[in-house]
Amino acid sequence: MKEEVKQLNEQNIDEIISLRIDLQNYDKKYFKEDEIIINQKELEKNTGVFLKNNLNKNLFLFGCYTDNILVSICGFYIERHFPTYINENGKIAYICNVYTKPEYRKKGYQRKVFEYCLAYAKENRIKQFQLDSKNEIAIKFYKKYGFKEVDNFYCLSI
């Protein structure tokens, strides 16, 4: 079984959209039916436009491949704030799109791609991270990396 973790780019957009839609369908359980305002086709189209406009500019996505199949994804979106004494460049990475296909879970793929994502951010002088999750399993995972709940977000400073 060949495994590879890598940064994703425009050539991976269709694969990214597929996993992003899977993630959105998984997260539907956290929404009421009347809160859903677009259908899946519109979501796919809007996601493609968003990726074309943002991927590897202020959105960085990473994937874990097994036998050339994208099985797990993770990324971050950079928000820029005023520099502070503890964050000289004002960059905050908002962790997003953390998802593994159900049939590939509990095999360490998410850990690998998450650690790759964090390492990439650190190499690019990002020292503060935020994320939002309602998924209790995911929250336990984030806490293992030092994320702490602050004002309904989970935060990490390194």
DSSP string, the chain: --EEEEE--GGGHHHHHHHHHHHHHHHGGGS-GGG--S-HHHHHHHHHHHHHHHBTTTEEEEEEEETTEEEEEEEEEEEE---BTTBTT-EEEEEEEEEE-GGGTTSSHHHHHHHHHHHHHHHTT--EEEE----HHHHHHHHHTT-EEETTEEEEE-
Residue 156 pLDDT: 75
Q: What is the pLDDT of residue 103?
A: 96
Which numeric CATH code is attached to 3-157? 3.40.630.30
pLDDT in tens, 51-93: 999 999 999 999 999 999 999 999 999 999 999 888 888 899 9
Confidence (pLDDT) at 150: 82
Integer CA distances (angstroms), 47 to 13, 14, 15, 57, 140, in order = 9, 10, 12, 15, 28
Q: What is the pLDDT of residue 153?
A: 66
Positions of the chain with pLDDT under 70: 152-154
The whole-number pLDDT of residue 36 equals: 79
| pTM, to two decimals | 0.88
Nearest-10 Cα torsion for 21, 107, 141, 17: -10
